Amino acid sequence: MAERLLPSLDLMVTIDWRMSNTALYSDYVLPAAAWYEKDDITWATPLSPFSQVITRAAEPIAEAKPDWEIHCLLLKAIQKRAAERGLTHFKDRHGEAHLRCLRRVHLWRPLHREQRRRVPRPDPLGVHQRRRCELGAVQEKGLPALHVAAENDYMTIGNATDVNENETITAGLWHTEKKMPWPTMTRRMQFCIDHPFYEELGEVLPVHKDQPAIGGNYPLHLTGGHTRWSIHSSWRDQRHMQQLNRGQPLIFISVEDAAARASRMVTRCACSTTSAPRKLMAKITPAHRPGQVTVYHAWEPFMSKGSTSYTSVTPNPINPLQLAGGYFHIQARDAEFTPGSTDRATRVEIEKIHPQAG
């Protein structure tokens, strides 16, 4: 991407509150307000049962602004420039719209339209989209339509339960206790998938298959994991978090595999696949079984020697089953069942790098 895609771009702008790796490649970095410096709704995954309403606890530092305000200011400037050029219309994903419609862009619009279909959606708060929605109402009532929608929308399909005060939240109770049909093709818990792709690949029923030799026929299996020191890349270069490690990507290797490669201490190593070699700091651990090495996620490339990402050693072909669709509950939607690669069981080899070799 850095070698082929980025040079072809005319302009790259990043909105961020930190100098991330993306920001380092950008022409402009617009300073965004950080968490707790803006009113916001935190919601990004169908796996979360709640949408958290965040109120501003501190003013943004210097020229930083909430990202929503930045977007609105950009739209205002674009609209002004378009008017100066005599442009009266622009085309968006839904067709043709007037430029003056830009003024009507607001937070709640996405909640009132089904993706890819222009039909109204249930208003989560009973507030018409052209009326102002007070933040206090969201704080008091929450977004129930996003939590436990009766129609079992795909973003709430994993909940299917009532959320009551002082009771644990147990997913699926509508199906197990209230006997509501499951949202599958058969309306039951379904393990048999008679889809042509599943039939062709011999996975109509759940079956174990050994991992293919992704990356080449190398002896070690590289697996990933959720980092233990930072949560996400946002905190990888945070100075307090960096006191918990050496501030550079680590690869965990078993005692047996390290001994077989003449490495008996924390040292630098080269992790190689057919794709490309990458230099990492090795951490020997008795918790790993022989044949397995692990790199936990969220390292920023600029934290590596040569500013290269450890992910470049993972070829990551997608599973063909992820291209299946048109089978009721098996179809791609936003944030759900979309093809994606993974760094599980990539084949690699590791060799020790001597100090003079860097």
**How far, in whole angstroms, is CA 17 from its chain's centroid?**
18
Q: Is residue 246 part of a domain?
A: yes
Domain assignment of residue 255, yes or no: yes
**CA quadruple 153, 159, 163, 169: dihedral, nearest 10:** -170
Residues 143 and 10 in one domain: yes
CATH number at residue 285: 2.40.40.20
Final residue of a domain: which of 92, 119, 147? 147
232 domain residue, yes or no: yes
Q: Are residues 227 and 347 in the same domain?
A: yes
Question: Tokens at residue 247, please?
Answer: 């501030």
Q: Do 130 and 224 fall within a single domain?
A: no
10 and 138 inside one domain: yes
Looking at the fold, whether 138 and 230 belong to one and the same domain comes out as no
In a domain? residue 60: yes
Entry pTM: 0.69
* Residues 231 and 104 reside in one and the same domain: no
- The number of folded domains in the chain is 2
Q: Name the β-bridge partners of 333.
A: 336
How far apart CA 42 and CA 285 sit, in angstroms, is 37
How many helices, marked H, and strands, marked E, lie in the chain?
Answer: 7, 12
The answer to whether residue 204 is domain-embedded is no
Q: What residue ranges of the chain have pLDDT lower than 50?
A: 101, 103, 105-132, 139, 144-151, 265
pLDDT at 291: 93
Q: Which residues form the domain of 243?
A: 220-357
Domain boundary among 82, 116, 147: 147
Domain-located, residue 132:
yes
DSSP of 37-85, one letter per residue?
SS-EEE---TT-S--EEE---SPPPTT-B-HHHHHHHHHHHHHHHHHHT
**In 3D, which of 46, 6, 43 has the Cα closest to residue 27?**
6
Strands 278-285 and 250-254: parallel
pLDDT attached to residue 127? 42
Residue 144: name the closest of 42, 53, 51, 46 by CA: 51
CB–CB of 146/155 below 8 Å?
yes
Which pLDDT belongs to residue 299?
A: 84
Alpha carbon distance 82, 279 (integer Å): 49
> Has residue 162 been placed in a domain?
no
51 and 140 in one domain?
yes
Contacts of 145 (CB under 8 A, 6+ apart): 111, 121, 122, 123, 124, 153
- What is the structure's pLDDT at 334? 67
Q: Which of 147, 173, 194 is the last residue of a domain?
A: 147
Q: How far apart are CA 1 and CA 263, in angstroms?
A: 33
Which residue carries 């609105």 as its tokens? Answer: 72
Query: In this predicted structure, what is the pLDDT of residue 277?
Result: 67
Task: Tell whether 130 and 239 lie within a shared domain.
Answer: no
User: What pLDDT, in 10s, does the model give residues 193-236?
Assistant: 999 999 999 999 999 988 788 778 888 888 888 887 767 778 88
DSSP annotation of 141: H
Residue 178 lies in a domain: no
37 and 132, same domain (yes or no): yes
Q: Looking at the structure, do residues 132 and 224 belong to the same domain, yes or no?
A: no
